[in-house]
A and B are shown apart, each in its own frame.
Chain A
Amino acid sequence: MKHLLIFVFFLAATFQVTAQKYITKTGAIQFYSEGAIEKIEAINKQVNAALDIKSGDMVFKVVIKSFEFEKALMQEHFNENYLESDKFPNASFVGKVINIDKMDFSKDGKYEADITGKITIHGVTKDISTKGSLESKNGKITGHSVFNILVKDFKIEIPGAVVKNIAESIEITVNIALDKLK
């Protein structure tokens, strides 16, 4: 609940102060891990994301149950045993593109983005810094980033029987296509 209130407050502040907001409701977040026996991957294509191109403020909101797996059993285990999505239904990122002042979105161009902020998964909030790209083209902004997180950092417990099947590090890939908020 605390994180939810922080998110709503942050979003409210962000959206009232300036007018240069870009959003999407169909952002894609994919995760991938290569365990000893098989790979595990899933994708969520209903991710909310917003970027303020003046301040660099950036937010993501992710509904955990919207991650789709190829195997139904993996999806069940992901929701029931690992992410406990009934207890922690959402994940979020609240942060900033710290070098946004070096980008000019009034014309086409692609920039490397330095991103820092707080990521919340499974009810655990961690500081994170990563790199990505932002590209302005035909009035749209597309964003891309790939980074890794450690399962143990978010208190996600893997049962001993399958611990060797699941990698300790999960690769997260983010792709967003943002439109100017009307």
Chain B
Amino acid sequence: MKKWIKILLIIAGLGIAAGIMGYIFVYNKSHPDFENLSSDYALKASELFTEFKVDAIKAQAKYNGKMVQINGQLMNKELNDTMAIAVFVFEQGMFGDEGIRCTMLPTAVDNLKVTESGAEVVIKGYLTGYNEVDIIMEKCSMLKSE
């Protein structure tokens, strides 16, 4: 085989390999393993809520898109066929309860189900934002309940 054909085949092979790697590791990469991500911040749920109430823009810049661990008293549980939400309540407002709403990971749903409302809990999750009523956390897991 001529040398230039070999070089072309090697280049083509490398290109195909790069394409496959790109598809697997970049284009088709998996979502983060939220349950095992470490927290960027850990604080009381009430302190987090106060930060957003005092200066929502500053708090959003600080916490949106971060893993946040909060501890406090679980006030409500909202359970349905597709979602399980742990709710911390600190105020009453135009939408009723105002506080922090944590949508649990599928692996954490049972933990929430067996936790009594009123229990002190530690929950970690991905903070997506604040809608002027509640702080929204997704992909949450229960680290501790008592």
Chain A residues at the B interface, C-beta cutoff of 8 Å? 1, 4, 7-8, 11-12, 14-15, 23, 25-26, 45-46, 48, 50, 61-66, 68, 71-73, 75, 79, 85-86, 89-90, 181-182
B58 within 8 Å of A by Cβ? no
Do A181 and B129 touch across chains, with their CB atoms under 8 A apart? no
Interface segment among B4-12, B60-68, B112-120: the answer is B60-68
Digit string of B128-142 for contact with A (CB within 8 Å is 1, else 0)? 111111101010000
Do B129 and A66 touch across chains, with their CB atoms under 8 A apart? yes
Q: CA–CA, A61 to B93, complex, Å?
A: 15
Name 6 extra pairs, CB < 8 A, besides A1-B57, A4-B132, A46-B128.
A23-B96, A45-B82, A63-B128, A71-B28, A85-B64, A181-B95
Do A66 and B138 touch across chains, with their CB atoms under 8 A apart? yes
Do B96 and A182 touch across chains, with their CB atoms under 8 A apart? yes
Q: What residue in chain B is nearest A65 (Cβ atoms)?
A: B128
- Out of B26, B95, B128, name the residue touching A48 (CB < 8 Å): B95
Assign chain B's interface to a size class: 20 to 34
Q: What residue in chain B is nearest A28 (Cβ atoms)?
A: B82
Do A46 and B64 touch across chains, with their CB atoms under 8 A apart? no
Residues of B within 8 A of A26 (CB): 78, 83, 85
> What are 27 A-B interface contacts by the 8 Å CB criterion?
A4-B56, A7-B132, A8-B132, A11-B94, A12-B94, A25-B101, A25-B133, A26-B78, A26-B83, A45-B103, A46-B101, A46-B103, A48-B95, A48-B131, A48-B134, A62-B131, A63-B128, A64-B129, A65-B128, A72-B31, A72-B32, A73-B26, A79-B65, A85-B129, A89-B129, A90-B129, A182-B96
Residues of A within 8 A of B78 (CB): 26
